Structure 1
Amino acid sequence: MRSAPGVESSGGDAPRSPQLLDRRFGRDEIAVVRHEVSARLTAAGLAGERLQGFVLAVNEVITNVVLHAGGQGRAVLWLAGGSAWCTVTDSGPGIPAHYLQQPEVPGAFEVGGRGIWLAHQLCDEVTVATGPIGTTIGLRIELPRRV
């Protein structure tokens, strides 16, 4: 699986370019992380539906960490190559193989199962590196071109 630009291939290392955010989180910090991501990307020029969609994708991924991967993780946000990147890393047991395929539209009455699907709909790129010692999900969205 490809690594995000500026991220070491081991998946959990910090990016080489300047970071906007690097924080560990647990169940009680989900809203705090969401607000921090929103504030930093607003300052970087992302706005409107693109901003809201990317923040929602980050929220879904960190919520999955809390619910399914041991309850704690690390979120790193940075800018590189005209895009905003966010990696979310956990030390859970890994994502089962049947969840790694391109997600299909969840059924109307299914409970759950929308987080990764939403990330694919709202981001320009989603990467996943997973194994028995943890998972790193990379989310990318292009920033508006400055005139």
Structure 2
Amino acid sequence: MAFPVLLDRSFGEDDITVLRHEVIARLAPLGLDGDRRHGYILAVNEVITNVVLHAGGHGRLVLRVEDGSVWCLVTDSGPGIPGDLLDDIQAPEAFEVGGRGLWLAHQLCDEVTTATGPIGTSIGLRIRLDVARES
């Protein structure tokens, strides 16, 4: 069964703001509201920013609806994420610069999947659409 693809786009450093706005526009008609929508957009933004900063500067984003959820799959062809960064994802210290992207994604999404190796990384971000709307 094919699932509706809302957005399929390659991106680079100059595309982050435009891509974030495209994701916002695609989420609008789906009924994802309030803090959940804002949090999901923040998680997507963090992951695409990580691609630009740490994985060669270019990636691909696919946004789709599947089984009552929105999935955002971000892929790159960078060197992979070092295993120690994935073993126990915790919030960085208060004054530590960087290191919050994956941690935030895990806090803001219903599910985060990661596949990484020397030829690239794929990160999936899922948020359910059936959660009660906030007032």
Deviation, structure 1 residue 145: 5.9
Counterpart in 1 of 2:113? 127
2:70 aligned residue: 84
Offset of residue 102 of structure 1:
3.3
The aligned counterpart of 2:25 is 39
Partner of residue 64, structure 1: 50
Which residue of the partner structure matches residue 124 of structure 2?
A: 138
Of residues 112, 124, 130, the one that matches 2:98 is: 112
Percent identity between matched residues is: 67
The residue number in structure 2 matching 1:13 is none
- Confirm or deny: 8 A CA contact 1:74 1:88 kept in the other structure: yes
Length-normalised TM-score, structure 1: 0.86
Which amino acid in 2 is paired with 1:100? L
Whether 1:95 aligns to 2:81 is yes
Q: Counterpart of 1:54 in 2: which secondary structure?
A: helix
What's the secondary structure of 2:74's corresponding residue? strand
Q: What letter corresponds to residue 59 of structure 2 in structure 1?
A: G
- Structure number having the greater helix percentage: 2
Contact 1:45–1:144 (CA<8 Å) still a contact in 2? no
**Residue 3 (structure 1) aligns with:** none
User: Is the counterpart of residue 50 in structure 1 residue 30 in structure 2?
Assistant: no
C-alpha contact 1:92 1:132 (8 A) present in aligned 2: yes
Count of paired positions: 132
* Structure 2: runs of 5+ lacking an equivalent: none
Query: Which AA in structure 2 matches 1:96?
Result: P
Q: Which runs of 4+ in 1 moved over 6 A?
A: none
CA distance in 2, matches of 1:24, 1:55: 17
Distance (Å, rounded) in 2 between the aligned partners of 1:97 and 1:144: 33
> Deviations along 1:107-144, whole A, 9 cap, x unmatched?
10000000000000000000000011100000000013
**Structure 1 contact 92–133 (Cα < 8 Å) conserved:** yes
What does residue 73 of structure 1 align with? 59
Displacement of 1:106 in angstroms is: 1.2
Q: Any unmatched runs of 5+ in structure 1?
A: 1-5, 7-15
